Amino acid sequence: MKSAVKEIVVGLILAIIVLLAIEGFDVTPFLFLGAMVFVLRFMMDSRTNSKRFEMVGSQRGQENRIPKVTFDDIGGQEVAKREFQEALDFMKLDTQARELGIRPLKGILLTGPPGTGKTLMAKAAANYTDSVFIAAAGSQFVEMYAGVGAQRVRQLFQKVRTDAEKANKASGIIFIDEIDVLGAKRGQNMSHMEYDQTLNELLTQIDGIKVNDEIRVLVVGATNRSEVLDSALMRPGRFDRIVNVDLPDKAGRLHILKIHAKGKPLADDVVLEEIAWETFSFSGAHLESVINEAAIQTLRGKRKQITLADLREAVEKVMLGEKLDRKPSSSEKKRIAYHETGHAIICEKALSGSVSSVTITSRGNALGYMRQNSDSDQYLYTKDELLARIQVCMAGAVAEELIFEQRSTGAISDIEQATKIAKQMVFAGLSPLGVVSTDLPAALVAKAVADVIREQEKIVFGYLQKSEACLHVIANALLEKEKLSGTDFRALFHKIA
């Protein structure tokens, strides 16, 4: 917004100068003044920017510019840590590597979803190799003036070398987060000349790292969109090591939870394994947030220890958002209770023991929700498993139809989810169409998806009809208590079913 205003003002001034020149005025003093302002701005810009790197990268005014984070502070990334450390060992064996003339490792690219610990990895790398550390984000190099981004790249490399010299260290690490912003394929950006110049400068600087450099520089880039990076950046001799920093599995989640719970007063009932089990698809940042939210809740409750209930509440808050004061009418509440009970009954039918909680409290966008867990993280699904997931998605709407004879808008996100799974089935060759080409006409895909979903709805309707007594008992229990744990739900389910 700010830069748009800036561009309009600059445009207006230029237009006035051109008009004055056409009218016969002598505009030389204006042009001279303009050039002075531009040079001054450029100089100030570079100064503030070099300060920006300094503030982000190193602890200002402190002798020690090496981050305190170590690889032990990073949980659940055993493969990534091992690969990364192996690459860094070259830096530690610098003398032997120089003797053998091994070309220095110049760049390592960390790829993976947000919040998985890429920045932590880069900091730990600096600690591991006793290197000074500077962090910058790709967006810091993007400016509307041609050449500014390239100049910032030069400053960054210069700065890491002077910082290392000052700190009396032999190496420095430059960490560039969101490297895709400046390293995307050339010629694709609107103002591509500026982007291309910046990327070219980065390539030049990386190529400039030599075996005999007094200060060894390593560039660590991070992105969650490695596919958009320019191939020149990825060729051997530049970012020639790619380390995938993925979402943690269950053991990884437990490790991360333990790291963040260290030193916090946990009550005796806390079993972190259970929280790790309930947090499939959470990143390290989510898990850190779970522990933090649970501690905040303990403080609010004026209690001394974090309980399992605090942690469970925190998981729901991180997953779905803050509890809301939204007060649905009593008829809406009843509908929500039957909707969620429908999901839970079908979920339990598909995978016994998998319901972790059912509630009709509004949170984030949800008016109620049913949480489901499985014993192990799963990355591949068979046809039956996908069909069962579609049944669970559609069970809320089907329960509404069975009890109230009409469905409501409450199933929109369930339908989205079911459609997504059915589409996956179609393209995985698991629908009645068999193996299909990826350019299957949209109308055929839509029909195949609708057919798959409709058939599963029929199965769900039949099952819920048979379990209607169970549906009433559990929905009424929910209306009374607002929330049922997986264990309470199963106790009712097995009593009646």
Torsion sign, CA atoms 315, 319, 324, 328? negative
Binding test (CB under 6 A) with ligand ATP, winner from 58, 119, 362, 391:
119
| DSSP 3-state of 56 | helix
373 vs 356: CA distance, rounded Å: 6
| DSSP 3-state of 189 | coil
Q: Are 126 and 108 in contact (CB under 8 A)?
A: no
Tokens matching residue 24: 């016969």
**CB of residue 117 vs ligand ATP: minimum separation in angstroms?**
3
Size of residue set near ligand ATP by CB under 6 A? 19
**CB of residue 286 vs ligand ATP: minimum separation in angstroms?**
8
Binding test (CB under 6 A) with ligand ATP, winner from 172, 284, 410, 486:
284
Q: Over the range 427-436, which residues count as b (16 or more CB within 10 Å of their CB) and which as e?
A: beebbebeee
CB nearer to ligand ATP: give 241 or 334.
Answer: 241
Choose one: 93-101, 118-126, 182-190, 486-494; the region binding ligand ATP (CB under 6 A): 118-126
CB nearer to ligand ATP: give 77 or 431.
Answer: 77
Residue 422, Cβ density class (10 Å: 0-12 exposed, 13-18 middle, ≥19 buried): buried
Choose one: 116-124, 186-194, 231-239, 452-460; the region binding ligand ATP (CB under 6 A): 116-124
| DSSP 3-state of 427 | helix
Q: Would you tell me how many other CB atoms lie within 10 Å of the CB of residue 447? A: 13
Distance from first CA to last CA of the chain, Å, rounded? 60
Q: Are 66 and 169 in contact (CB under 8 A)?
A: yes
Q: Sheet harboring 355-359: ordered strands across?
A: 369-372, 355-359, 483-485
The answer to whether residue 138 forms part of the interface with ligand ATP (CB under 6 A) is no
Residue least distant from ligand ATP (Cβ): 284
Q: Would you tell me how many other CB atoms lie within 10 Å of the CB of residue 167? A: 17
CB nearer to ligand ATP: give 11 or 114.
Answer: 114
Binding test (CB under 6 A) with ligand ATP, winner from 67, 104, 117, 396:
117
DSSP string, 136-172: EEGGGG--SSTTHHHHHHHHHHHHHHHHHHHTT-SEE
**CB of residue 148 vs ligand ATP: minimum separation in angstroms?**
24
289 vs 261: CA distance, rounded Å: 11
**CB of residue 445 vs ligand ATP: minimum separation in angstroms?**
33
CB nearer to ligand ATP: give 252 or 368.
Answer: 252
Tokens 């549906």 -> residue: 471
Tokens matching residue 14: 């230029």
Tokens 């649905």 -> residue: 328
Binding test (CB under 6 A) with ligand ATP, winner from 230, 288, 293, 310:
288
CB nearer to ligand ATP: give 117 or 342.
Answer: 117
**CB of residue 87 vs ligand ATP: minimum separation in angstroms?**
18
Choose one: 40-48, 280-288, 330-338, 359-367; the region binding ligand ATP (CB under 6 A): 280-288
DSSP string, 338-392: HHHHHHHHHHHHHSTT-EEEEE---BTTBSSEEEE--SS------HHHHHHHHHH
Q: Which residues are catalytic?
A: 340
Binding test (CB under 6 A) with ligand ATP, winner from 66, 71, 109, 118:
118
Residues 58-77 vs ligand ATP: string with x where CB under 6 A?
A: ----------------xxxx
CB nearer to ligand ATP: give 222 or 390.
Answer: 222
Q: Are 275 and 312 in contact (CB under 8 A)?
A: yes
The answer to whether residue 114 forms part of the interface with ligand ATP (CB under 6 A) is yes
Binding to ligand ATP (CB under 6 A) within 231-270 occurs at: 256, 259
The answer to whether residue 221 forms part of the interface with ligand ATP (CB under 6 A) is no
Q: Are 352 and 322 in contact (CB under 8 A)?
A: no
CB nearer to ligand ATP: give 73 or 94.
Answer: 73
DSSP string, 269-306: T--HHHHHHH-TT--HHHHHHHHHHHHHHHHHTT-SSB
CB nearer to ligand ATP: give 116 or 357.
Answer: 116
Binding test (CB under 6 A) with ligand ATP, winner from 115, 142, 155, 404:
115
Residues 143-182 vs ligand ATP: string with x where CB under 6 A?
A: ----------------------------------x-----
Nearest-5° Cα angle at 227, 82 to 422:
100
Choose one: 56-64, 114-122, 411-419, 462-470; the region binding ligand ATP (CB under 6 A): 114-122
Choose one: 49-57, 112-120, 348-356, 376-384; the region binding ligand ATP (CB under 6 A): 112-120
CB nearer to ligand ATP: give 78 or 332.
Answer: 78
Binding test (CB under 6 A) with ligand ATP, winner from 66, 97, 109, 120:
120
Distant-in-sequence, close-in-space partners of 127: CB < 8 Å, separation ≥ 6: 66, 67, 68, 69, 70
Contacting residues toward ligand ATP, per CB under 6 A: 74-77, 114-120, 177, 222, 224, 256, 259, 284-285, 288
